[in-house]
Each structure stands twice: as C-alpha cells, then as structure tokens.
Structure 1
Amino acid sequence: MRSKVEIKELTKVKEYLNELSELLINVVEEGASIGFLPPISNQEAKKYWETVLCPEVVLLVAKVGNQIAGSVQVHLSTKQNGGHRAEIAKLMTHPDFRRMGIGRLLMEEAEAVAKQESRSLIVLDTREGDASNYLYGSLGYIQGGSIPKYARSASGELDATIIYYKNI
C-alpha cells in the first residue's frame, strides 16, 4: 500500500477544498480530537481550510489515486526564541484509509519538512488514549507530560492531552 500513497505539499487549498472538507468532516464524525466537535457542517469545514495556509504553515496531504486520504500540518515557530522548533498539528487519516501506514508516512514527511526548515525540535499533542499515541511512540516521540481536562469530547467529557516532543 505504501507504494500507492503519494505525499505532496499543498500551497493552495482551493482546488482541493471539497476533498479536504470531506476529510475533516469524516474524521471529526469518527471521533478525532482535532479542535472540532460533531456535527461539523460543510460550510464550517470549508471556512477552516480556507484559512489554514500562511507562510509558517506547511500543509501535507496523502493521496491514494486521486483521493486525499490524509493530511498533516507543520507549524514553523516564528518566535525569536523558537526558530529551532516546529509543531505538528491535525494529523488526519480518512476512515476508509486507516491502518494502511498513511499516518506514519505523513509524519515521516512532516519530519523531513521540519529538517529542511532547519528545525531540530518537534512538539505535538494528542488526546490521551487515542491510537495516535501508539504511532507517536513508535516514531520516537517522547511524552513530556499531560494536561488533564484539556479538551471537550463529543460526549461532553473533558479529556486529557499528552504532550510529545522529538529532537531531530
């Protein structure tokens, strides 16, 4: 499967707006903790994607054939004391393409982007208990700690988030 996946950087979202919106809606409906709660409207999803790109954000997508199967963002710190770090945000894999290594491929490319941008530290956070915790651990990310009651889930409960980092 890995050979059929193409990872590419998007510099414009307009051409992919419908697919990106569908991806966001599907992963949120499946319970992903990426800042949105279900139900999320197509209009809300489109509005989000229309505002994602800026000079300090690199948007990567995974394509299988002609379909977007996942995405991840690399946020390059612009702070004077943070030019050495990047943050991974909103790693998403479409439910139809899970367990195929797409998340891993996106993370590997995100790390390559960070290195290319002369970043030596990557940070990220994810909901405690999510499958993504296993992925990040398998990629060498180290738990830096947790914050209890960080984000509200669809059920209304407040879930903890785990902070990860990796020196590259």
Structure 2
Amino acid sequence: MPRLRLAVPDDAEQLRNLIRLSTQTLLARMLSAQQVAESHRFMTLDTQLIEDRTYFVAAIGDRLAGCGGWSRRATDYGGDTADRRDPRLLDPASEPARVRAMYTHPDLTRLGIGRMILESSEAAARSEGFSQVLLFATVGGEPLYRACGYRELSRELDGSVPIVRMIKDIA
C-alpha cells in the first residue's frame, strides 16, 4: 500500500512529470487528441497547494503513485500558469473547500490510491471547519467522485475539455 505524505517543494519536478503522464495517458482513453493537448494548458501543478501544506503525495518506495489535495483558497482548478487563480481564503462557515489536482500514475489505477488521497483531503478540510468540498472533475475522475458520494452540480467546458462540477457534504 502506498505511503501518504504532504508534498514538499523538492517534489515539484516529479509531480509535474506525474501530472503530465497521467493526463496524457488516462484522458486519451476518453478525449480526443486535441482535447488532451488542450487540457495541458490548465492541468498543471499549483505550487500554492504545496506552500499551503494541503497537497498529498502517495508514494511506493521512491516512486510517486499519485497526488492530490485540497485548498482553503478560492481557486477552483488549474496550475501556476492558469489565469483563473484566486488566492482569496475561503470562509469555512459559508463556502466549500476545494478538492484539487488529483492524479494517479497510469500503471497504478484502480488500487485505491485516488480514494486514499481524496479521503485524506476531505478529513483535512473537515478538521479546518469546512462542511462541504467542491471539485471540478475530468470525465476520467468522475466515476471515483460519484462512488465517494459527490453529486453533480453542472457540466462545463474549459475550451473543448469537459469538466464536471461536483460537491459533497463532509460535516
């Protein structure tokens, strides 16, 4: 079973590689080549999550098996280069925390890694007073989130890439 820990700045390059490999490989099963290429515009590492100590790494030995986390900030999704970043701190009494940037190594899917990261993220958000979590899922991640109790709020497009906005009560 993978060991879960908080990501540190020294993980950044490995995380970027994992995110790109996961996106390139797993989304290619569901999206066109153009959509996968377009997804790389916003499916990148958000180092603010590492700085905030809200981003997890699942490791098997020295190998990264998966990553993901949560945020107390208003950014919905997107990495350091995304134009939609919003560093405003959320109000736990009236706003949902964000589940962010969940990726699994393509060779290690369906082993519970994503669920482990998701449950740890929800527990951390709950411990800071949040009663709901909001996420923006890819079509690849949507089945996991549904199985974990998330409900769909809307379906959107980021360019041509389909995104599913989902929410869950965690109180």
TM-score by length of 1: 0.73
Map 1:77-116 → 2, pairs under 5 A: 77=73, 78-80=89-91, 84-116=95-127
Equivalent of 1:163, from 162, 165, 168? Answer: 165
How do residues 11-160 of structure 1 correspond to structure 2 at under 5 angstroms? Answer: 12-14=8-10, 16-32=11-27, 37=37, 48=45, 50=47, 52-55=49-52, 58-77=54-73, 78-80=89-91, 84-127=95-138, 130-147=139-156, 150-152=157-159, 158-160=160-162
What's the secondary structure of 2:6's corresponding residue?
strand
Per-residue deviation, 1:73: 2.3
* Alignment partners' CA distance in 2, 1:81 and 1:106: 21
Distance 1:66 1:83, change over 3 A: farther
**Whole-Å separation in 2 of the counterparts to 1:18 and 1:81:** 32
Q: Distance in 1 between matches of 2:104 and 2:56?
A: 12
Do the aligned partners of residues 114 and 81 (structure 1) sit closer, same or farther apart at CA in structure 2, a change above 3 Å counting?
Answer: closer
Q: What are structure 2's unaligned runs of at least 5 residues?
A: 74-88
CA contact (8 A) 1:20 1:49 kept: no
Name the one with the larger strand percent: 1
Find the counterpart in structure 1 of residue 4 from structure 2: 7
CA contact (8 A) 2:38 2:161 kept: no
Q: Which has the higher Rg, Structure 1 or Structure 2? A: 1
Long gaps (5+) in structure 1: 153-157
| Shift, 1:21, TM fit | 2.4
Tell me how far apart the structure 1 counterparts of residues 47 and 72 of structure 2 sit (CA, whole Å). 19
Task: Give the counterpart letter for 1:108 in structure 2.
Answer: E
Q: Tell me, in whole angstroms, the C-alpha distance in 2 between the residues paired with 1:109 and 1:96.
A: 22
Alpha-carbon separation, structure 1, partners of 2:146 and 2:21:
25
Q: Which runs of 4+ in 1 moved over 6 A?
A: none
Give the distance between the partners of 1:85 and 1:51, measured in 2 at CA: 18
Task: Give aligned pairs, total.
Answer: 146
Cα 1:50–1:161 change in 2 (3 A) is: closer
